[in-house]
Chain A
């Protein structure tokens, strides 16, 4: 038989795929006439499929109702029966110069998540208001959400003018109110149009009934909306989706969110700050490709050196890279039934990165649908607010004013998207590694080691007063892990002070440097699949936070919280006695300079339990936090 194998062609298509396509969402309060407007627009632009009009007439007649345009979109049986739109629908038609994709979003507060799903895909919006009812709660709420979703082009339509006798005064009243609301959100309406969607006035034609109105019709207003442009002018942002090794190439895959890249470009990988050059830009069926790849393209690149990078990293250009941070302030909308409160554990998605996080502060929580902006301490469902988020690992991001694509996040609760918003600001991170330092990476991949050891790399940081039992626990844990076939390595603070850190004293700066070196060495071991067990007093919470930043997701902090009196009684190294006699200066234990941790993974008091019991508990913590595993299938889940 014949197969048809057309030759590849780059010619334009006769159906007009080169016309600008704009995606427009129609939003507004329930029953203000969104679906009716869409039905009318399709009819006026001659876009209805043959037979649809007759089908609608039949469907309406069967329900004993006058002809109902909205049945066209409310295709679902349930929607027809209840007369409301539940989910978002998309439908296409053409104006003089545009291919329009209309997104009809539900106006009912119950379905705000669906309105957001629809509106987030839009280049522009039509906000519809019932002339009789005026601006209502969902009108205001949708206006606010358009701002949060980054939809800047908004045309307002005042519908059902037939029900107010086409009164210019009523129209002007509503026009002034909604314009003030939108301008307050930084959105200037592109037009405010009086219409009757049911009868057709103002939709595609100026009719005598609205002769006092001189502005554009709805169709003309749609024709003026512009498609969103890719962010070509901004610095490069390539969030890493995956690293593929299907053959001898190691391809870093992702979509260019802004800027452009080409082979030979020097890049920086954030949040780690590693530097490399793009060796090739890979493609299929032709590869490699020359020339720059601009914003919007899904690409694959290879690098000029073997670096450990992972999904969630963002590739930028050195000098204009995204920030790395563990703390973000965001303006968000909340969709979950349970209000978002301070202290809540959430999952944050920023580009392709996911990180556990804690809400550390909530400010400006309001109902955007209400007239008064009364502030609350929690963000209720369908409300908005500003929050401070502390992330469990460093992430790369931008404030949304710098980059609207990488400056937005979503929040997940129990595996379901529960909210989203804009990154307002980030805390500064650390500088990138200079280009002339070229770290060489191991010949083995972390997962090869994990398969042998049955654990992932980790930094287990035991902190606590001298004599609290850190070294004892560390040694017991080392023995236990080793007996089970693992690869633990003990890094004792005093041992390091005798060698690598022998140049350091006990001033705050030297202590900070001592901890940094310990953390760097431990992290190097962890990256290579070992479990580094650090036993160090490490009294400063800022120093330990720095260690956590270095070790990143591998960090497990254990507070050995043995009471000070017990520690002093034990005094295994005789330090307490010396300090009491004044022979040892700067000793942590008898002063009050030890700062107990707060976000630690485990707390153990050795005064009331056996060493093996405490070791059991550490092992359990390592198992539940993804360091230890029994089965290779668990390993696969972690790669």
Chain B
């Protein structure tokens, strides 16, 4: 028996009252407009970003240039009324797609970001027991450690989501890391009622996950609603598109005909293929991704 509901939902759900209320100042409306799903996600993310800014001394936002971290920057601009009040850190493996670098250079300026580009160490410097793609990805973990040592950040804002991958599902919103950036999944502190553990021990840092509760479809629906720019590699060309963007050599496109966001959403609604299917490092061994994350990978 299947209860999966594939009915499409009627358009025009944000109430006219909301559209009016948000665009015409000074017109009294008796009842506040009800919040839709995206409004709720947005409000929660803004709350988390403001808590991080209030409680940590030296924050940075990890900008991977992908759809999720672009949404995160957008949310930070909403939280802080247009200005991102901490650096955007791009830990650069040097192996991203040219479209990604062009995107970074353009929007780093247009969004007035305090952009810090930090390099990663060569592959030889990384744990040789990891399988090849994971080892390649682990360069980013090392690059992150370099950047942490260089700037002394006590909080790193990262755009991971629970629905991406099973170990990420177990994350806290404020996730304490050890002195080496490692994640102690066995001893995570309790976190409830939007009260966050924000006191990292001296020399350690926190990961802050403001979009942990979003899904891939939420990201696209919000990107469309807000008009957030995206890298064109996400859209289908010659029957293929990228669902997730990483290093060129370990990221593969998926078969797709979705050439705009509406088509992406329709595709996601029907698919049963996981988002990170194109990411080689997830599939090398049963626990490769978990090992990466325990060591401090995002």
Contact = CB atoms under 8 A, between A and B. Distances in A.
Contacts of A15: 217, 221, 265-266, 268-269
B184 to A, nearest CB: 11
B152 interface: no
Interface string B173-217: 000000000000110111111010101000000000000000101
The 4 residue pairs across chains A and B that have the minimum distance between CB atoms = A294-B32, A291-B21, A415-B199, A75-B166
B96 interface: no
Nearest to A96: B3
24 contacts: A4-B232, A5-B229, A6-B224, A6-B261, A12-B10, A15-B217, A17-B37, A46-B2, A59-B286, A90-B169, A93-B4, A114-B190, A117-B192, A230-B35, A241-B47, A253-B50, A284-B77, A289-B25, A290-B21, A291-B29, A291-B32, A410-B193, A415-B197, A420-B193
Interface stretch (A189-197, A208-216, A296-304, A431-439): A296-304
A45 B9 contact: no
Interface stretch (B79-87, B113-121, B129-137): B79-87
A236 B146 CA distance: 46
A255 B47 contact: yes
Contacts, number: 271
Interface in B35-50: 35-40, 42-44, 46-47, 50
Contacts of B26: 263, 290
A253 B78 CA distance: 11
Interface residues of B, number: 105
Contact of B20 (A9, A96, A246, A291): A291
Interface in A1-60: 1-19, 21, 44-50, 59
Contact of A205 (B1, B230, B274): B1
B5 to A, nearest CB: 5
A295 B39 CA distance: 11
B191 A45 contact: no
A93 B260 CA distance: 25
Nearest to B82: A284
A113 B4 contact: no
A528 B16 CA distance: 48
Contact of A14 (B83, B167, B265, B286): B265
B170 interface: yes
B4 A417 contact: no
A449 interface: no
B9 A14 contact: yes
Interface residues of A, number: 99
B35 A294 contact: yes
A21 B268 contact: no
Interface stretch (A81-89, A174-182, A321-329): A81-89
B109 interface: no
Interface in A605-620: none
B210 to A, nearest CB: 11
A94 B78 contact: no
A50 B277 CA distance: 11
B31 A286 contact: no
A3 B106 contact: yes
Interface in A91-107: 91-97
A591 interface: no
Contact of B32 (A13, A16, A292, A636): A292
Nearest to A99: B37
B32 A46 contact: no
A242 B53 contact: yes
B286 A91 contact: no
Contacts of B162: 90
